[in-house]
Amino acid sequence: MPELTVVIPTLNESENISELLDRLGKVLAGVEWEAIFVDDDSTDNTADVVRRISQSNPRVRVLHRIGRRGLSSACMEGMMASSAPYLAVMDADLQHDESLLPRMLDTIREQKLDLVVASRNIEGGSKGDWTWYRRWLSDAGRALSAAVCRSPISDPMSGFFLVERQFLQSAIRNMSGVSFKILVDLLSSSQRPARLRELPYTFRPRLRGESKLDTVTLLEYAYLLADKLVGDFIPFRFVLFALMGLLGLVLHLLILWVLYEQKGVAFATAQGIATWLAMTLNFLTNNAITYRDLRLKGRAILRGLLTFYLACTFGALINIGLAEFSYRRGFPWYLAGAVGIVISSVWNYGMTSVLTWRMQQRRRKR
């Protein structure tokens, strides 16, 4: 049984695989280790490259995920696919200093720690040649993470760390599995502060391939932080769903005002057009933001849109019925209206999460 499993999430990193394994083989000589690559269906055949290597190298395995994306969830699956007592996470882009792994392993064993983190923010560490903008983003992310992390740490944004299995298993059922910052997810999901130590390293420049940092990853990080702050009380996905609904309501009223008040279109016609456009906007924004980890693509978008229309139409009927019932029972008009909106929102959220996204996602996987 390997003592150490190195989990490496990949997306279009085929050019780096051989060199990374060569480096790991050199620095981990004398250690029983394995590498598990978790590939999110790369278009450059990364998974096939790993498979070919694994045929002659029993230390190497690949988990090829179809229909799923996300660095954190990839790392979680890779770690849970291993039986090793110690689990390291690092990138495949050669920017993490693999020569630090033996020291990380010795430190976690000898000091009986839960976690050893490679840090760029302590003495001896460096972010390398990062631009001022990326440094600012990293510092902002570090500051925000302090609100959710249960352990003091200088570099919670690090993607290079080594964790003891029992600590991982005590936290993993509480982890969100979203965002690209799995360390923040892990530290904020543990039942107790981690016994951890940070070791300095210098972040290397990328030699090949492209950075995966974009607007979507930043939104996912914001989602993770918000989920950790309010998720114990209200599912944060529901909060996002409600916010997208509020955006749709604003659009609805704006279109209704333009068509009915400004253009003289009959009220029923204007209301119908406004409702259809608002529902369409709600679907698109929820697909892009609320359910971005289950995002529908291609032909699945049309099927999802139709089920979204269906679920929200029933929700509108529930809204009207409950509001009318509450009003006739003596509720003030504004409170009666609020009751209808809240109940219909819960209905819409529950039904669309099953009919529109999860069902369509399962169909796409098949």
Count CB atoms within 10 A of the CB of residue 298.
Answer: 8
User: What band does 359 get if pLDDT is binned at 50, 70 and 90?
Assistant: low
Distance CA 228, CA 50 (A): 35
- The predicted-structure confidence for 106-122, as pLDDT tens digits, reads as follows 999 999 999 999 998 88
**Of the ranges 43-52, 207-216, 276-285, which one carries the lowest mean pLDDT score?**
207-216
- The span from the CA of 360 to the CA of 202, in Å, is 43
Q: Which of 81, 76, 89, 71 is nearest to 6 (CA)?
A: 89
3-state secondary structure of 94: coil
pLDDT reported for residue 38: 96
Q: Which amino acid is at 170?
A: S
- Measure the CA–CA gap between 141 and 146, rounded to whole angstroms: 9
> For position 355, what pLDDT does the model report?
78
The DSSP 8-state label assigned to residue 111 in this structure reads T
Read off the pLDDT of residues 166-181 as tens digits, 9 standing for 90 and up.
999 999 988 877 666 7
Closest CA relative to residue 323, chosen from 340, 302, 342, 304 = 340
Give me the long-range contacts of 313-317 (CB less than 8 A, separation at least 24): 314/347, 314/351, 315/344, 315/345, 315/347, 315/348, 315/351, 316/275, 316/344
In angstroms, rounded to a whole number, what is the distance separating the alpha carbons of residues 91 and 87?
A: 13
The residue with greater pLDDT, 320 or 250, is: 250
Tell me whether residue 9 is exposed, middle or buried, using C-beta atoms within 10 angstroms of its C-beta: 0 to 12, 13 to 18, 19 or more: buried
Q: Which residue has the higher pLDDT, 187 or 130?
A: 187
Locate 263 and state its tokens: 């253009």
Higher pLDDT pick, 3 / 325:
3
CA within 13 Å, CB half, 360: 24
Cα→Cα distances 163→28, 113, 167, 187, 197, Å: 17, 8, 7, 11, 11
Sequence letter at residue 162: L
Name the average pLDDT for the chain.
82
Average of per-residue pLDDT across 214-242: 63
Half-sphere exposure of 74 (CA within 13 A, CB side): 32
Is the separation of the CB atoms in 237 and 39 below 8 Å?
A: no
Which residues are registered as beta bridge partners of 34? 5
Q: Given a cut of 70, is residue 334 above it in pLDDT?
A: no
Q: What is the length of the chain?
A: 366
Q: What DSSP assignment string belongs to 177-217?
A: --SS-HHHHHHHHSSS---EEEEE-BPPPP-SS----SHHH
| Contacts for 348 with CB less than 8 Å, ≥ 6 apart | 241, 245, 311, 312, 315
